[in-house]
A and B are shown apart, each in its own frame.
Chain A
């Protein structure tokens, strides 16, 4: 049982390049989330999904797109990376119970030059 895994762990992009971050969970969770964390700050929600085939915007969605084609995977895409998107990205998942806790992945460190 690996829990929540994220791929890749590190990435350096040039401005304007695109990339996709992959989040996978093996707990059969309905809900999945993408957060970003900038230095000295708490996590901010980018997008989330309440089930396979669904997505919704969070607090800071601009510049990102997401897809949830399979229940176990949640993809975060950057179509045209900008230096302001340099951050650590965390994925999380939770079960369908109303007050179930979120389980977080180890994070992806992204640097945009």
Chain B
């Protein structure tokens, strides 16, 4: 699985968009980009995933660059409840479809 690099922490004002970057320069053609988040000590929660096209769901948008070497998770209107650790994961199908978690980005949403 390709390695990902994320900033250690970020701050965002409540009500503003939170843009969380992720670098995955060694990603290969059949690897998807997944985003999960972990609020306080709870189990991680799935947010979104994509291959090469931009994706949007009720929680967030995922923007993947054309060369697929980086992506950005966008929370359009961050709230205090979005304060969490956000994990960017690159995953290849097969081998049990395992997830390899890095340290993630601590997002602090402030009022």
Chain B contact residues: helix, strand, loop or mixed: loop
Asked if B87 and A42 make an inter-chain contact with CB atoms under 8 angstroms apart, the answer reads yes
Assign chain A's interface to a size class: 20 to 34
Known pairs A50-B96, A56-B96, A99-B49; A107 contacts B42 (CB<8 A) = yes
For the complex, is A1 an interface residue (Cβ under 8 Å from B)? no
Q: Given contacts A41-B103, A43-B101, is CB(A31)–CB(B96) below 8 Å?
A: yes
Given known contacts A102-B46, A106-B43, A107-B42, A48 and B93 CB-to-CB distance under 8 angstroms: no
**What is the interface size of chain B, counting residues whose CB is below 8 A from a CB of the partner?**
20
Q: Which residues of A contact B (CB under 8 A)?
A: 4, 31, 33, 35, 40-45, 48, 50, 56, 58-59, 88, 90, 92, 94, 98-107
B42 to chain A, nearest CB (A): 6
Given contacts A48-B98, A92-B43, 11 further A-B contacts (CB under 8 A): A31-B96, A42-B87, A42-B102, A42-B103, A43-B101, A45-B98, A45-B100, A101-B34, A102-B44, A102-B99, A105-B43
Map CB proximity to A onto B56-100 as digits: 1 under 8 Å, 0 otherwise: 000000000000000000000000000000010000010011111
User: Bound state CA distance, A98 and B98, in angstroms?
Assistant: 11
Between-chain CB contacts (< 8 Å), 29 pairs? A31-B97, A33-B98, A33-B99, A40-B103, A42-B87, A42-B103, A43-B101, A44-B101, A45-B98, A48-B96, A50-B96, A58-B98, A59-B100, A88-B41, A90-B43, A92-B43, A92-B44, A94-B97, A98-B97, A99-B49, A99-B93, A100-B97, A101-B46, A101-B49, A104-B43, A104-B45, A105-B43, A106-B42, A107-B43
